[in-house]
Amino acid sequence: MQDIAKLIDHTLLKPTATSNEIRTLCTEALEYSFYSVCIHPFFIKTARQVLQGSEVRVATVIGFPLGMSLRDVKISEAMESVASGADELDMVLNIGKVKEHNWDYVRREISGLVTATPRSVHKVIIEACCLSDDEKVNASLSALDAGAEFVKTSTGFAASGAVLRDVELIRTATKGRIGIKAAGGIKTLNDLLTFVKAGASRIGTSSGVEIMKEKH
């Protein structure tokens, strides 16, 4: 069996998160050897302090959760996050531009962020529950064309989270040329394994500890 822990971005993105809760999250990530913690930019330096010297990476969110920030603001947020110690950037697309099918804007926004932070891993959150199938496909292909490393299904703050069919659709459309992060509502070991089988190569979840306890 795959190393389950290395698939997990151990996540705490609730708006009431405190520094102590972030420290606990990072301590859990160290204990279970999760791939990363996924946190708000405000907490990057706190996470770095706890994770210093470990292999656990720091992921943060950009333009979260609505994706409607100005493009230059997203790029600035990404650059400052990297300067603070973030390794991976989970960026929310401008969903309005996706709904308008303005694919040139969508690609330019992603590529601008990728170019500004070339050493980072970039995950593009498409908020799949808001999109038609054609929009999911074109948003995913835009992320691929713009140089992102992952498409991420969801913020976890919209009407629904990860859906198996969306992972399968993204995998088929991109022909396996980009990673897929499934996030939102993945709470059990069976959930995780099912999404991985469907094509996800990373799992965003706030239930990582419970999943690992279930595994053992």
Catalytic residue among 90, 123, 166, 191: 90
CA 57 – CA 143 distance, rounded (Å): 22
181 given a catalytic annotation = yes
Name the DSSP class of 199: T
152 given a catalytic annotation = yes
136 given a catalytic annotation = no
CA 176 – CA 125 distance, rounded (Å): 17
Q: Return the closest-CA partner of residue 113 out of 130, 93, 132, 95.
A: 93
CA 14 – CA 58 distance, rounded (Å): 17
Catalytic residue among 97, 136, 181, 191: 181
Catalytic residue among 74, 97, 136, 152: 152
What 3-state class would DSSP assign to 12? Answer: coil
DSSP 3-state helix, strand, coil percentages of the chain (rounded to 5)? 50, 15, 35
Amino acid, single-letter form, for residue 162? A
Q: How far is CA 131 from CA 92, 93, 151, 189, 191, in A?
A: 13, 12, 14, 27, 23
Catalytic residues, which ones?
90, 152, 181
